[in-house]
Homo-oligomer: A and B are copies of this chain.
Amino acid sequence: MTNPGMKCSRCRRPASHRFPQHNLRLCDACLEIFTERQVERAVKKWRMLAPGQEVVAAISGGKDSLALWQILARLGYRVRAVHISLGFGEFSQASLDACRAMAQRLDAPLEVRGLEDWAGAAVGEIALANRREHCAVCGSLKRHLLNRLVFELGADTLATGHHLDDEAGRLLGNLMRRHAGYLERQWPALEGMAPPAGGGVGLARKVKPLVRLSGDEIRAYAQSQGLPAHLASCPRSKGATLTNYQDALELMEQRMPGTKRDLYFGFLRQKAGPPPPPEPGGLCRQCGGPTRQETCGACLLLRRARETAARRAGQGGAA
């Protein structure tokens, strides 16, 4: 994608990155400025964080979350990095190693939690017991655990490394399947709810500071900054629906540069009002977290997995 005589659009020195979607060529130094400014603009535009605010960042060890961590720290936010280890063997070990290397690089603490330890079972077992897609179960449990951790750490905001490709892909899927509710709640920042008066778990604010950056921009940033990212994609995520929408968008982006930006930011521009407030509901009678059912989705997943395990153990004992 680069050619030898290419010049940086900002400083006219030799450029090594090319972004057709902006008709932009950048050298490493200007890429750093460009990338970090895009984050700064997103944070400001959607009022994601107050200056110096404490924010829990979900760090998977991939390029996106490591870039998020570094940029938020450089922009002066107090980042509490949290890594949820998924228990997927070598993949998860390499992810954890990447997070630890990044913590060392930034000289910052890293909170690590094991999803299996917390859930009492492997994600695969829980998915099987619930007859649900692996990715959907993993995502649901991860979001639940991250939400709890935000309040355990005394914070109220969770930042994730979702970027333009993620959001535009999700938007395409929601548009094509006419998910009006998801469309209404698709924003780069969503407000949360404070924990109930007696203490416990609220609903964390969710912010996506990388939303103005595409995957290729973040990849270039991560490479040129030498971030110790774990670049493999999750071995269990094959056939995830989101990937199909993202790949279709990528095809359109290659032929019509700017497609993703036009889709996502055009969608945000035409929204009638501000982001909707969280829908108030009750508290899960299992975990005390926010839910609109009696028991929250994550606790239901875990309960069914426990019931299945108990039934199997019972059958084993009777045999």
Contact = CB atoms under 8 A, between A and B. Distances in A.
Interface of A: 172, 175-178, 239, 241, 244-245, 247-249, 251-252, 255-256, 259, 262-263, 266-267, 270
B177 A266 contact: yes
B267 A178 contact: yes
A251 B251 CA distance: 9
A265 to B, nearest CB: 11
Contacts of A262: 176-177
Contact of A178 (B241, B245, B249, B270): B270
Interface residues of A: mostly helix, strand, loop or mixed? helix
B251 A255 contact: no
A248 B256 CA distance: 12
Given A239-B255, A241-B256, A245-B252, 18 more contacts: A175-B176, A176-B259, A176-B262, A176-B263, A177-B262, A177-B266, A178-B267, A178-B270, A244-B251, A244-B252, A244-B255, A244-B256, A247-B251, A248-B248, A248-B249, A248-B251, A248-B252, A251-B251
What 5 A-B pairs are tightest by C-beta distance, nearest first? A248-B248, A244-B255, A248-B252, A248-B251, A175-B175
Nearest to A173: B252
A256 to B, nearest CB: 6
B266 A178 contact: yes
A248 B169 CA distance: 12
Contacts of A178: 266-267, 270
A247 B244 CA distance: 13
A177 B249 CA distance: 13
Nearest to A175: B175
A174 to B, nearest CB: 11
Contacts of A239: 255
A248 B173 CA distance: 13
Contacts of A245: 252
Contacts of A267: 178
Contacts of A256: 241, 244
Contacts of A175: 175-176
Nearest to A239: B255
Contacts of A255: 239, 244
